[in-house]
Amino acid sequence: MNFDYDLIVIGAGSGGVRSARIAASYGKKVAIFESSEVGGTCVIRGCVPKKLLVYASGFIKTFKAASAFGWDVPPACFSWKKLIANKDAEIKRLNTIYLSLLKNSAVELIQHHAKFVDQNTVEAAGKKYTAQRILISTGSTPFFPDIKGIHHAISSNEALSLKELPKEMTIMGAGYIAVEFACIFNALGVKVNLVYRGDKILRGFDEDVRNFAQEAYIKNGINVITQANVLEIKKSKDCYDLLLDSDMCLKNQEVVLCATGRVANTDNLGLEHLGITLKYNGQIQVNEEQNCGIESVFAVGDVCNSDNLTPVAIKEGHLLMDRWYGQGTTYIEYDYLPSTVFSQPEIANCGYTEDQAREHFGDVVVFKSQFRAMKYAMTDIHDQTLMKLIVQKESDLVVGCHIVGADAGEIIQGFAVAIKQGIRKKDLNKCIGIHPTSAEELVTMR
């Protein structure tokens, strides 16, 4: 059978764009479909713009600390509108780069929504396109719980482009997205309420990290309300009142941000025509080959896995194309994935939590250190840093590393390489630390 393309990619996010470009580099004819901006969640409405806002919110602490180091800093004047305008310009620049990458790779970009007709055919804007293989890389989208008045809430997408900085807001949820935005807005002077149904924020993280972070957020001024569900959101003039099941009512909230998780973008793809199995959250079930159970249909990234990380989507797609078209034999490895929560303080981790390590390995040895970073020694800022290593007792292998504090993400990257390669605690002990740094603590803990 003659096909229009060797490969059709649905979704031009990080995973889709990388897959398309690598396939094209092997001389394959590739088309990629995207109904929104090229770049996906990470570049357009996720990691990148959020990190820019994180940087903006961090300057306040820098201004506060500067005087202790001899700087006479005049009162700072912040403009939310200027920040958002500059952020938008940067995102537009990155979008242009992504468009150029596709063009220079000879990938055909079709800017329409595509849905399946059969396992080798998609339809977009009334036209049908065929390919030997079709790759789904449509990512994920914010989840909104089914409660009365939820249509008044915004998602993280809209939070990145608010026209005005609110005086008070409520954030529903306490995962990494929720706490990141809570810290951004809190640092910029917004009164933030963080409402979560569980007894402690950041479910799934190490218990010491959860306790330490929650205490730090509260000290920084975030009103953390746990063991509470939002039952209803009522519009009240230009604000909103939130009724909680803990007999509490949060009145006059200018913004309600729903950050209660994400679901896969699998609606309206025509997957029902193929009989593809979906998980409870809409994600596609795939095997080791990224195959969806249909010979010619595959998926990478957030649409099919629980590790919702941009580098994971990119690596999955790249290695898959190498195996298809370049005689590659390498598969992605999901163990010891490093990740960072860009909150204040920053949280980074690699490997197992203490509870997971005890369950998986049995006996473990835990090393912990808590200290005030030298950067704040002469200031009235009393932020603490937490570092924690989890070591399998029998083998001496480091199986978990957790950091809460300034530059945690930058620190974890190097240690993640070592942990992935099987570093032992005695190997860390042999290392000479760089003094004075926070990172040296990880090679001096006893």
Same domain, 272 and 241: no
Same domain, 352 and 427: yes
Domain boundary among 212, 244, 260: 260
Same domain, 343 and 438: yes
Total residues belonging to the chain: 446
- Catalytic residue numbers? 435
Give residue 407's domain range. Answer: 339-443
Same domain, 272 and 295: yes
The CA dihedral of 180, 162, 52, 90, to the nearest 10 degrees, is 150
Contact 391, 364 (CB under 8 A): yes
| Residue with tokens 């007792």, as numbered in its chain | 393
Q: What are phi and psi of 237, to 5 degrees?
A: 60, -120
Same domain, 196 and 232: yes
Whether residue 300 lies inside any domain: the answer is yes
Same domain, 154 and 201: yes
Whether residue 228 lies inside any domain: the answer is yes
Distance CA(147)–CA(188), nearest Å, equals 29
Bridge partners, residue 10, by sequence: 33, 136
Whether residue 333 lies inside any domain: the answer is no
**DSSP category for residue 397:** B
> What's residue 277's pLDDT?
84
Same domain, 256 and 268: no
Residue closest to 5 by CA, chosen among 108, 100, 102, 103: 108
Same domain, 137 and 269: yes
> What's residue 246's pLDDT?
84
Whether residue 184 lies inside any domain: the answer is yes
Whether residue 438 lies inside any domain: the answer is yes
- Joined together, the tokens standing for residue 437 give 């740094």
Domain boundary among 221, 236, 260: 260
Whether residue 330 lies inside any domain: the answer is no
Same domain, 425 and 395: yes
- The pTM (predicted TM-score) of the whole model is 0.96
The pairing of beta strand 347-351 with beta strand 398-404:
antiparallel
Same domain, 136 and 275: yes
> What's residue 273's pLDDT?
86
Whether residue 200 lies inside any domain: the answer is yes
Distance CA(141)–CA(281), nearest Å, equals 11
Domain boundary among 325, 347, 366: 325
Same domain, 291 and 205: no
**DSSP category for residue 112:** S
Neighbour count for residue 359 (Cβ, 10 Å): 11
Segment 374-377 long-range contacts (CB within 8 Å, at least 24 positions apart): 374/436, 374/438, 375/65, 375/406, 376/65
**10-residue mean pLDDT series, the chain (446 residues):** 95 97 98 95 95 97 93 92 98 96 97 97 98 98 97 98 97 98 98 97 98 98 97 95 94 98 95 90 95 97 93 97 97 97 98 98 97 93 96 98 97 98 97 96 94
What is the dihedral sign for C-alpha 105, 106, 107, 112? positive
As for how many domains the chain has, the answer is 3
Same domain, 354 and 413: yes
Q: What is the CATH number of the domain that holds 126?
A: 3.50.50.60
Q: What are phi and psi of 261, to 5 degrees?
A: 120, 180
> What's residue 189's pLDDT?
97
Whether residue 208 lies inside any domain: the answer is yes
